[in-house]
Amino acid sequence: MNESLFFAEEKTISQAKSTINKIDILSVDEIKSKFHELLKGYATLFKQFRRLIKLSDKQQLKLNELNEALEVRNQFIKKTFGRYLSDDIVNALLETPDGLEIGGEKKVVTIMMTDLRGFTALCETLSPEDVLTIINIYLEVMSAVVLKYNGTIDEIIGDGLFIVFGAPIKKDDDAKRSVACALEMQLAMHVVNQKISELGFPELELGIGLNTGEVVVGNIGSQFRTKYGLIGSNVNLTARIESYSIGGQVLISDNTLKACGDILIVNQSFNVLPKGLSLSINIHEIIGINEPYNKFLPQNKDCEMLSLERSVAIFIYQIKEKQIRNEKICASIIKLAKTGAVIHCEANLELFSNIKISLVDNNTIIQNLYAKVVKNIPYNSAHFQINFTSVPPDAHDFFKMIMTS
């Protein structure tokens, strides 16, 4: 019994071992099979991964090439359009996602407008090539000064400049920098005149007007033609202030004076009623700015008037809205200086008005020049002080002869 049980148990154990062995073998084969499948899968993934890496490297290389091309394009745009717009405007357009969208925002800025006195009359006697030579010399010198003071040249209008301080980038010292810039531009005119004199051209004078106020600034136009510019009454007011200036002057508004504080040196102030305004405004002539800029205009010694023993006959033609009136006014020069004169004229000449003067000999016009009425002589209502804005070489020699005789 015991023996038969022993054999049965041994048989059962043997069968169990055989079953276990079969199970172990199948499990290993299955595992091996699965493992091989996994290896194949990993191999495939690895190949795909390597392809992705290679593709990623190519994409990165392509991306780098595109970035380099974009940078070259941006530099080209800055270099090209920077000759027409300021760097600040170009950068604002390139770096802002909506930089080219039509529209604007209100900003308080300081606007500067400049004009070469008498240049239009000078152009009538010069060839187009000579005119461009003078303009390019002038703009090269002035642009360097404006760039030094971080101004934005918004427009070049013939021989005039439209400059903005405070757009597109606003700073706390915009007004102060604008006045310092204007003074240095006046000082830099000797460089301009030295260069053009070497070429045989007459010297030029610059008038500058400044105003601080709120404007709408941004992209103006349409999808076909867009301009970065300023709109508002303060733009027009700046133009009016500039129109009152004579050569060598820097005129500013009350707002600009207040924005600059007490660092400005005011030579004189006067009250005017610009066209389009219902109330008069104060305008201030600035001859210097203190720390930290320290820019000062030299005192003009050429303005001392020499009384003439014999008056010089002239005809005067008033200029309104840049149009020369046909009405001829008889007058005479009684005092003379290099930069201006005192004239006797029975007609009423409007203060700060522009006039055309014809020098007369035996009732024959021998030379024309241009001037601005700058002062009424208090003791004689028929006497006016004028400042020459354009004196041709022949007229200059004529005056020199009179003053030295």
Task: Give me the residues paired with residue 295 across strands.
Answer: 289
Which amino acid type is present at position 86? S
Residue 149's pLDDT band, with cuts at 50, 70 and 90, is: very high
Q: Tens digit of pLDDT for each residue in 170-191?
A: 899 999 999 999 999 999 999 9
- What single letter denotes the amino acid at residue 9? E
For the chain, the straight-line distance linking the first and the last C-alpha, in angstroms and rounded, comes to 165
Token pair in block for residue 136: 């390019």
pLDDT in tens, 247-285: 999 999 999 999 999 999 999 999 988 887 888 999 999
pLDDT bin (cut points 50, 70, 90) of residue 62 is low
What is d(CA 307, CA 309) in angstroms, rounded to the nearest whole number? 7
Contact 283, 253 (CB under 8 A): yes
Residue 1 binned pLDDT confidence (cut-offs 50, 70, 90): very low
pLDDT tens, position by position, 210-256: 999 999 988 777 767 777 788 999 999 999 999 999 999 999 999 99
Q: Which residues contact 391 (CB under 8 A, 6 or more apart)?
A: 118, 202, 369, 399
| C-alpha span between 86 and 9 (Å, rounded) | 104
Beta partners for 368? 358
Residue keyed to tokens 């950068």: 91
Q: Read off the pLDDT of residues 84-120 as tens digits, 9 standing for 90 and up.
A: 455 666 666 566 555 555 567 899 999 999 999 878 8
DSSP H helical ranges for 82-96: 87-95
Task: Give residue 365's pLDDT.
Answer: 78
Mean residue pLDDT across the chain: 81
Quote the CA–CA distance of 315 and 182 in Å, as a whole number.
Answer: 35
Give the pLDDT confidence score for residue 5 in this predicted structure.
42
- Domain range list for the chain: 1-81, 100-296, 304-404
Q: Quick one: pLDDT at residue 158?
A: 85
Q: Parallel, antiparallel, or unpaired for β 281-289 and 329-336? A: unpaired
Rg (the chain; Cα; Å):
40
Is residue 35 scored above 60 in pLDDT? no
What would the mean pLDDT of 31-53 be, rounded to a whole number? 59
d(Cα 233, Cα 235) in Å, to the nearest integer? 5
Q: Assess whether the region 100-296 and the region 304-404 belong to the same CATH fold.
A: no
Q: What are the C-alpha distances in Å from 221 to residues 141, 233, 302, 336?
A: 31, 19, 47, 50
CATH number of the 100-296 domain:
3.30.70.1230
Residue 29, pLDDT score: 52
Give φ, ψ of 142 to 5 degrees. -70, -35
Domain covering 304-404: architecture: Beta Barrel (2.40)
Q: Per-residue confidence at 355, pLDDT binned at 50, 70, 90?
A: very high
For 159, 174, 292, 294, 304, the CA distances from 146, given in Å and listed in that order, are 15, 12, 17, 16, 32
- pLDDT one-digit tens code per residue, 313-345: 999 999 987 788 889 999 999 999 988 999 999
pLDDT of residue 278: 82
